[in-house]
């Protein structure tokens, strides 16, 4: 059996995902474009959603967990009066409601009281969360609905504006990892005495990475692994200290809460350390000296 060629391209790509593609589709296209098999992404986007998708290449896949945990910004439309089984415009209508034209001032009041800050949210059946080893969206396709426990999420901001359609508002949402925008739209409809679903979902940023630097699938730009850790505290160690890193030894914590990107004196990324025990940090990813 032939051994798989080790990856030669290392880094990540900020993609502006087009509509009509799954996140897996995007990965497959990039494997062909970049000639690399070892590619993964830092969080899915719905097939009809567009916008920022972070994709790790080669050793960059080992850093994806640090990207998936970052805050994200979205825009969408919230359509009142109808609910769908997918909570967005791609699903089948499951309920209709007689609702008066939406008062955006009232919406802002409800949003500020119920949907900003630390809130509890029930994951939608169309999510990728697993129950008894099976993803919720797989159960939903089989017509099975299961009880889901509410989970704590954080919404930094939830701004709404009126549109030309009195039953549709536009929204821009900045939220923590694990927040479902489609659930925010549906829950807002319920809070206003009816129902709603979302449409035209677009992700504008993941952490410090925005649409302004995103590339297309036709012409993907591979950025360095160092750039992947933008915003992470960086520490430079001596060659003697690097030996301890390569052996996975703990180190006294630096300032801040971590994680910490560790570089050698030549500017090469060697490892990422995370808090371990009181006063100590331990490497969770080690790349080794080049």
Identify whether 264 is a catalytic site residue: no
Q: In whole angstroms, give the CA distance from residue 233 to residue 225.
A: 14
Largest CA distance in the chain: 71
Look at the alpha carbons of 258, 259, 263, 268 in this order and tell me if their dihedral is positive or negative. negative
The tokens describing 16, both together, are 């502006």
The tokens describing 245, both together, are 């890193």
Q: In whole angstroms, give the CA distance from residue 115 to residue 109.
A: 10
CA 56 to chain centroid, in Å, comes to 13
Which of 25, 46, 132, 244 is catalytic? The answer is: 46
Beta strands in the chain (DSSP E): 11-17, 39-41, 50-57, 72-80, 82-84, 93-96, 117-121, 130-131, 134-135, 151-162, 168-175, 196-206, 209-210, 233-236, 251-252, 260-263, 269-275, 280-286
Catalytic center residues: 46
């Amino acid at each position: 059996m032939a051994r798989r060629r080790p990856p030669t391209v290392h880094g990540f790509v900020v993609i502006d995902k087009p509509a009509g593609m799954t996140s897996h589709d995007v990965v497959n296209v990039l494997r062909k474009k970049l000639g690399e098999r070892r590619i993964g992404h830092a969080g899915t986007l719905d097939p009809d959603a567009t916008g920022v998708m972070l994709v790790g290449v080669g050793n960059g896949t080992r850093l994806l967990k640090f990207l998936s945990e970052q805050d994200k910004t979205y825009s969408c439309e919230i359509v009142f009066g109808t609910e769908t089984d997918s909570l967005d415009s791609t699903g089948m209508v499951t309920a209709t409601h007689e609702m008066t034209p939406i008062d955006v001032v009232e919406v802002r009041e409800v949003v500020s009281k119920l949907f900003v800050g630390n809130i509890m949210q029930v994951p939608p059946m169309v999510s990728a969360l697993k129950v008894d080893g099976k993803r919720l969206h797989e159960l939903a396709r089989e017509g099975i609905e299961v009880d889901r426990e509410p989970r704590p999420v954080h919404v930094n901001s939830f701004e709404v504006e009126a549109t030309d359609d009195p039953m549709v508002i536009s929204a821009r949402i900045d939220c923590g990892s694990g927040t479902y925008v489609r659930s925010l739209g549906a829950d807002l409809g319920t809070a206003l005495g009816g129902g709603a679903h979302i449409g035209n979902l677009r992700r504008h940023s993941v952490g410090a990475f925005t649409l302004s630097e995103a590339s297309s699938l036709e012409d993907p730009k591979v950025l360095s692994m160092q750039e992947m850790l933008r915003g992470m505290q960086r520490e430079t160690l001596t060659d003697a200290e690097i030996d301890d890193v390569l052996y996975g030894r703990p180190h006294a914590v630096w300032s801040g809460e971590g994680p910490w990107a560790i570089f050698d004196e030549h500017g090469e990324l060697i490892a990422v350390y995370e808090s371990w025990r009181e006063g100590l940090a331990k490497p969770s990813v080690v790349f080794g000296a080049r």
